[in-house]
Amino acid sequence: MHDVSLLLQRWGGWAASENSGVNYSSVAAGFRGLLIHPLKRNLNCNDSDGLILDGCISRLKRFNPTYHQLIVTHYLYRVSIRAIARRRRLADGTVRKELQAAEGFIAGVLSGMDITLECESESMA
């Protein structure tokens, strides 16, 4: 069973690093005034795991672009669920449910791949 939240936190740290080779905008769409300067992230994953997770997140974008934007905003740009809900004028419970659905999609894609990521085995040890 994958701990998708932890994996996505590690992916966010990896994607935000200078040398990941993945280009995301430095400001999330619609959140210009809410973002703080990037903090050092303790959680990170290696390049192979990061690329696998990035592929899963790309599949999510094809399935549901709103869920993709939610994952990127929350895990890469580290915007809180409450701030996202305020910005979208939704209840934070609604945003939380959407985030769970997006995480479930990513967990399903990872399960379908039937692989164990290296960063998962590190966190188990």
Give tens-digit pLDDT for 94-108: 999 999 999 999 999
pLDDT reported for residue 112: 94
Residue with tokens 């399935």: 63
**Which domains, from first to last, does the chain contain?**
4-17+42-120 (1.10.10)
In the chain, which residue ranges form alpha helices assigned H by DSSP?
Answer: 4-16, 47-63, 65-71, 81-88, 92-113, 118-124
Read off the pLDDT of each residue in 19-32 and give the average, rounded to a whole number: 56
**Which residues, 6+ apart, have CB-to-CB distance to 25 below 8 Å?**
none
Average pLDDT, the chain: 85
Residue of 34, 15, 30 whose CA lies nearest to 66: 30
How far is residue 7's CA from residue 10's CA, in Å, rounded to a whole number?
5
Determine the Cα angle at 46 with ends 58 and 110, to 5°: 40
pLDDT reported for residue 29: 54
Confidence band (pLDDT; 50, 70, 90) for 49?
very high
Q: pTM of this prediction?
A: 0.81
pLDDT per residue as tens digits for the range 54-63: 999 999 999 9
pLDDT reported for residue 123: 62
Position 64 pLDDT exceeds 90: yes
pLDDT reported for residue 37: 46
Confidence band (pLDDT; 50, 70, 90) for 20?
low
pLDDT reported for residue 124: 60
